[in-house]
Amino acid sequence: MFAVIRTGGKQYRVQKDDVIKVERLAGEPGATVALDQVLMVDGGKGPTIGSPLVDGASVAATVLDQARADKILVFKKKRRKNYRRMHGHRQDLTVLRITDITVGGKKRRAAKPKGTVEPEVGEDPPEPVEAAKQTSIQQSATEATASDQPETTGEPEDDGTRENT
């Protein structure tokens, strides 16, 4: 059985007893961490792919160590301008041992499409065609009132009393 998990912006394919290095997670060595962002699980009967996550699936891991990665040197240079900058970076890592992969839990109901309205008990559901007609009538009424008014430019009108120089 294996699973694909997401942590620290990266995806990892893990099995039981795998040792992986992930970006820093909170926890002392020996602590148990639950990784619940499971993207896919394969238990031998075929893969279960989440959209985006598998419902009720989680991966348990034990923190082995809090470590740091090798130093990465970042060198910037602009030729003929005497511009050289060198910076270093060491990423904080957590070393994990995968102890268990669980699949199960309650299935969530499918998400309802946006814009649908649940009818209350004893009420008929609203008809979407009438609602669309009403909104188009309201929009055309507001456009008609806006076009009846004269446009103003924000400049004072010329009454002819001032001379242009």
Q: Is residue 159 part of a domain?
A: no
3-state SS assignment for residue 137: helix
pLDDT on residue 24: 95
| Domain contains 29 | yes
The domain in which residue 76 lies consists of 2-102
- For residue 44, tell me if it sits in a domain: yes
Name residues whose C-beta falls within 8 Å of residue 99's C-beta, 6 or more positions apart in sequence.
16, 17, 32, 60, 61, 62
Output the pLDDT for position 45: 84
| Model confidence band, residue 109 (pLDDT cutoffs 50, 70, 90) | very low
Structural domain total, the chain: 1
Write the DSSP symbol of residue 117: -
**Overall pTM > 0.85:** no
* 123 assigned to some structural domain: no
On whether residue 43 sits in a domain, the answer given is: yes
